[in-house]
């Protein structure tokens, strides 16, 4: 990605935060200037885009001095996911897996959509059994889950994790001997589970 696309993320991240409007404006100007200088001097160029963004988020949090500026967004995301999960009908382990895949849309780092209810609605879960997957290795996965002894499950987005937990419950139902380790981020990172 070009440097301007990274700098363009600044107003989106600040809009998602719970910071007061005057602070957002000041921070936007300062962070854009700071990032431009760092990028121009090639002080922030990792070969991996993931490492770049992880370092960038941590630096933003350090600069603004707020432990988790997205706490309110995460609460709204979890409430929306909880409400949906109560009404979504899944059919066994495959249905729970597909629902967790659909729930991945609860990702607010992509376009800056602030309303969890517009990211995911009940109709998104209709006809889960016909959900087209680009690569569908689910039969292999489910077969391995039935005989697994240990499972590392990497959680992603805050609200989405409720669907992940429902999937994990189904895994434990078909294999009560598996030990599940659920992993999240070690510190606050936009809408990610910590």
- Tens of pLDDT along the chain (194 residues) come to 666 777 777 787 777 777 888 888 888 888 888 888 877 787 766 666 667 777 777 777 777 777 787 888 888 888 888 998 999 988 899 999 999 999 988 776 554 455 555 677 888 888 888 888 899 999 999 999 999 999 999 998 888 999 999 999 999 999 999 999 999 988 777 778 88
The beta strands (E) that lie in 120-161 are given as 150-154
Q: Is 18 left (phi over 0), alpha (psi -120 to 50) or beta?
A: alpha
Question: What b/e string do you get for 140-175 counting C-beta neighbours within 10 Å, with b at 16 or more?
Answer: eebeebeeeeebebebbbbbbbbbbbbbbebbeeeb
| CA nearest neighbour of 188 among 71, 82, 83 | 71
Neighbours of 119 (CB within 10 A): 22
Q: Which two tokens stand for residue 130?
A: 């016909």
The pairing of strands 150-154 and 179-183 is parallel
């Amino acid at each position: 990605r070009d440097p301007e696309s990274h700098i363009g993320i600044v107003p989106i991240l600040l809009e998602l935060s719970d910071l007061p409007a005057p602070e957002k404006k000041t921070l936007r100007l300062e962070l854009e200037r700071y990032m431009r200088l760092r990028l121009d001097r090639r002080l922030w160029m990792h070969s991996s885009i993931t490492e770049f963004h992880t370092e960038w988020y941590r630096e933003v949090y350090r600069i603004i001095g707020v432990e988790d500026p997205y706490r309110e967004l995460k609460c709204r995301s979890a409430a929306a996911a909880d409400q949906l999960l109560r009404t979504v009908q899944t059919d066994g382990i495959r249905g729970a897996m597909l629902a967790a895949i659909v729930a991945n849309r609860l990702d607010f780092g992509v376009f800056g959509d602030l309303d969890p209810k517009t990211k995911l609605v009940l109709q998104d879960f209709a006809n889960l059994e016909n959900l087209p997957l680009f690569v569908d290795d689910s039969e292999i996965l489910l077969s391995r889950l039935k005989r697994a002894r240990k499972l590392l499950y990497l959680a992603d987005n805050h609200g989405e994790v409720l669907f992940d937990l429902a999937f994990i419950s189904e895994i434990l139902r078909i294999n009560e001997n598996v030990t599940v380790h659920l992993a999240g981020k070690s510190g606050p990172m936009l809408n990610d589970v910590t």
